[in-house]
Structure 1
Amino acid sequence: MIFLKGSVLKFGGSSLATIDKIEHVANIILKHSVNHEIVVVVSAMMGETDRLVSLGNQIFDNHHPEREMDQLISNGETITAALLALAIKKRGRDAVSLTGWQAGIHTTYHPQNATINSCDTTRIREALDRGQIPVVTGFQGVSNSDVTTLGRGGSDLTAIALSNALKAELCWIYTDVEGVYNVDPRMVPDAKLIPQMDFETLYKIALSGAKVVQFQAAAYAKKMEQAIRVCATHKPGAGTLINAQRVTTPPLIAYKRGIVLIQATKKGLEILEERQDQLGIFENLQNEKIVAFEMEETRVSNLIINERLDEEIIKTDSRWCVISIHYSISPFVEAMLKKELKTYFLISNDSIMFLFPEYLLQDQLIKINHLLDFKQIKDKEPVDCKP
């Protein structure tokens, strides 16, 4: 069995957006590498994947040839890995950039949405034994000798899968926020940092739309119990440790955009409730019910036609969002939220979801955060993300 005497470090696109930022990341890597083996995973420079997709769209605006799109969009990570390896070499340490297939990342053949089957880390181990720092392209792998990509945020999955395959003690995810917060700090200025959480909690908030760790990566970490630390690249300080230890957290708020609502007759609701791709049947305080779907409006229209629901549909409405609260709160607080928010809701064992028009998203996140009163978060000793 191959063991890594150190950690896997993953850097996102915002951390690598410019040459100056790449140089800064190289300094972080060198500090980590003192007396430790380090494997690095990188995303494409911020905006690069979108640029490559746009180039493909100029030729094929719909139904892209999937293999060629994977070949195209995987280049963003390849460029970043080479640039970062050069920056490390400039500082006197040897480094080698490795693409997904060179690093032994074998995937299913689902272009632009592949999943990792296995990691053959032989070549990474050989590089480490030569004293090199392997810089691996995230987001990509290989299936039947063809390049595959892992979907948006797939570099997180690459890093966690490699950490598990190498038996690394910790997978560091460096990003543009200081850790995992109770709510998106880009949307809510007084969001609170969560010092520690367990795998199950990370999985639930990622499933509900939290972007700090890709959902598939959170699921993989939970399954394999791979410890993660999330912290900021450009602002050393407190981070979030994610491991198997169960800890109490305050209510956590996540959200998803792009929700389509369907108002239907009783028969229509019964048919739609049976579908696996619906978010659920929501209701309001007047006991009116509505079905929410996380899909494009055109797909919802096709669904209505395919299910022969034309006569059962009263109304469809797009551009909504769903805000999820994961919590253990009293029935009193639950009743207060339903009364104050005045919208459709859905309650499960440990969460409650609310629907809002997308243009109200930020206002409602701020309002919910205020209503839940996060004074209950106790100050804990911060974990320094400096290596």
Structure 2
Amino acid sequence: MTTVLKFGGSSVATVEQIQSIANYLKSRAAEGEKLVVVVSAMGKMTDSLIAQAQAITDRPERRELDRLLAIGEEQTISLLSIALNSLGVKALSQTGAQAGISTMGLHTKSKIKQIDGNLLRQKLETYDVVIVAGFQGVNELGDVTTLGRGGSDTTAVALAAVLDKRCEIYTDVDGVYTADPRIHAAAQPIPHISYDEMMEMSALGSKVMEMRSVELGKKYGVHIFVGKTLESKRGTWIMEATETMEQKAVTSVSVTKNVLTVSIKHVPQTNAAVADIFELLSNRHVNIDMISQTTFDSDIFLSFSCPLDEEEFLDEALKDIMDRFTTVKVDRHNQHAKLSVVGIGMRDATGVASKLFAIFRAENIPFYQVTTSEISISYTIAQADIERTVAAIANAFEL
């Protein structure tokens, strides 16, 4: 049986931490487990590499940036392999390309196209532990690409999907909570959560797991454990929903900080104009999130949000839009956040929206956009209002 384990950047931030993980892996390998270990870059190494590139230019060429960023994970796999071998454990380090991870799409935000699981199986016939660089793969041109935010989680779950569907994610938090404990200190741990809820939470701001990795887990039936590195087994299992999970209408509240909200006024009142605007945004690869549209007289007013770190793509798209539609006026705000209430029980529960709006009224908290899905309700609020809004909702729903 092969288990895939993933250790994040904070878990491998120092050589001493890497040595501690090596000792832990040695104890598991001694019990006969075959291990594939996915690691991130050490600590803030990725941020440091980006800063070095931006010291040269504000907009480094993305192919070269991928080549640079891949260095971070490759440093970690080498050090961990050295540590394991020094302990007498047969270990081998592998880049994403060596592990058979093929990617497609844009540099710095690629997606996994396929994985040749036979390559790892062959290595595991000789080695007890194979350490794979997370966050990276290789495209059809043979270029190194990176997978974007949370890419190492995606790497780990994707590898588990082609092996024995067992994945353990170790990080600096001991599982999934009803709210971010850094925002709401009274947040409670969640022992089991459904794939759908975790995907929704990830999409709506939770930093514990990257949404693509949970989606892969659901698609291929990978049970995912999330826990704190080298501590107790307390953590969260992500799996199919159970009847018990569905009894509670609201499971958690998630927050996405650093959100850009954009309003486009005086759009011509035609379906073609709206379609053209979103086509121009898509052409520039802007990741649109919340969308609202209002029609007044002969004008359309569009609003949407996107991540602040996509501002470069947004600038290009807005220029295209204003060149195409000379009458439009654009307003943008970058001090917003998205707050989302999530729960698989919302599918059958009534009154959740009413209760939430009552909370905003009672606490005198303004909101600027509202969107819903089958299991969530999301609001755009000012970043300054995050803590008191989360506290009010957590108290009202006993989270």
User: Which TM bucket (shorter chain)?
Assistant: 0.7 to 0.9
Match of 1:324 in 2: 340
Give the superposition deviation at 1:280.
Answer: 2.2
TM-score after normalising by structure 1: 0.85
Q: Distance in 2 between matches of 1:234 and 1:121?
A: 28
Mapping 1:231-380, distance limit 5 Å: 231-246=227-242, 247-248=245-246, 250-263=250-263, 275=278, 277-281=288-292, 291-296=303-308, 303-308=317-322, 311=327, 313=329, 315-327=331-343, 328=346, 330-331=350-351, 332-340=354-362, 341-348=365-372, 349-374=374-399
Gapped runs of 5+ residues in structure 1? Answer: 284-288, 375-387
CA contact (8 A) 1:278 1:291 kept: no
- CA separation of 1:48/1:305 partners in 2, compared to 1, >3 Å: closer, same or farther? closer
Mapping 1:40-79, distance limit 5 Å: 40-62=37-59, 64-79=60-75
Match of 1:86 in 2: 82
Q: Deviations over 1:72-130 (max 9, x none)?
A: 11011011011111111222211111111111111115211111111113332222111
Give the superposition deviation at 1:257.
Answer: 2.0
Match of 1:100 in 2: 96
Q: Secondary structure at the match of 1:230?
A: strand
Give the superposition deviation at 1:300.
Answer: 5.2
- CA separation of 1:312/1:131 partners in 2, compared to 1, >3 Å: closer, same or farther? closer
Q: Deviations over 1:115-169 (max 9, x none)?
A: 1111113332222111431011111111232211111211111111110111x24
Match of 2:285 in 1: none
Q: Distance in 2 between matches of 1:58 and 1:45?
A: 21
Matched residues, number: 363
Give the superposition deviation at 1:252.
Answer: 1.4
Q: Secondary structure at the match of 2:386?
A: helix
Counterpart AA for 1:357 = A
After alignment, is 206-215 or 257-266 more displaced?
A: 257-266
Q: Secondary structure at the match of 1:253?
A: strand
Match of 1:381 in 2: none
Q: Distance in 2 between matches of 1:208 and 1:138?
A: 23
Q: Distance in 1 between matches of 2:62 and 2:107?
A: 6
Counterpart AA for 2:102 = H
RMSD: 2.6
Mapping 1:115-126, distance limit 5 Å: 115-126=111-122
Q: Distance in 1 between matches of 2:62 and 2:319?
A: 27
- CA separation of 1:80/1:251 partners in 2, compared to 1, >3 Å: closer, same or farther? same
Q: Pick the aligned partner of 1:163 from 150, 160, 165.
A: 160
- CA separation of 1:59/1:162 partners in 2, compared to 1, >3 Å: closer, same or farther? same
Match of 1:219 in 2: 215
- CA separation of 1:94/1:300 partners in 2, compared to 1, >3 Å: closer, same or farther? closer
Q: Deviations over 1:269-322 (max 9, x none)?
A: 986697472512299xxxxx9823114467656555543467554853321111
TM-score after normalising by structure 2: 0.82
Q: Distance in 2 between matches of 1:240 and 1:162?
A: 20
Give the superposition deviation at 1:228.
Answer: 0.5
CA contact (8 A) 1:262 1:313 kept: no
Q: Distance in 2 between matches of 1:324 and 1:268?
A: 32
- CA separation of 1:269/1:211 partners in 2, compared to 1, >3 Å: closer, same or farther? farther
Match of 2:298 in 1: none
Q: Distance in 1 between matches of 2:314 and 2:32?
A: 55
